[in-house]
Amino acid sequence: MMDSKKSITCECEANTIELTFHHSMPPELVNKVFCPQCQQKGYKSPKSWPIPGDWRLHFDLEIARMFAMAKLKIDPQLVNPGFIIDGGYVD
Ligand SMILES: [Zn+2]
């Protein structure tokens, strides 16, 4: 199992966060991030998921579902943001 790290700049471009992806989940899993200032500046973050530090992550669920099906052999319909966070795939 390999962990990978990826730095992503938020939508307002003021901040960058380094995320770690676990259990061989591809970093493409996260396609947008929102820092606390993004929200104050009015960048909408629909369907994004809160993480500690008042950041929000937006997932590419197609990537997550393909990964689940191909690598974990589980029903892709079970994959949602809660599955990703609770499963410890990214932090
Ligand atoms: Zn921002």
- Amino acid 79: pLDDT: 96
Q: Note the pLDDT of residue 3.
A: 87
CA of 8 relative to ligand 1 center, distance in Å: 11
- Which of 18, 4, 3, 14 shows the shortest CA–CA distance to 57? 18
Q: Which of residues 45 and 14 earns the better pLDDT score?
A: 14
Residue 42 Cα to ligand 1 midpoint, Å, equals 10
What mean pLDDT do residues 7-30 have? 96
The pLDDT value given to residue 1: 60
Q: Which residues contact 81 (CB under 8 A, 6 or more apart)?
A: 47, 49, 57, 59, 61
Residue 2 has pLDDT above 80, yes or no: no
How many CB atoms within 10 Å of residue 75?
10
Q: Rounded mean pLDDT of 3-31? A: 96
Distance 30 CA to ligand 1 centre (A): 15
pLDDT of residue 20: 97
Q: Write out pLDDT tens, residues 19-71.
A: 999 999 999 999 999 999 998 999 988 899 999 999 999 999 999 999 999 99
Rounded distance from Cα 70 to ligand 1 centre (Å): 33
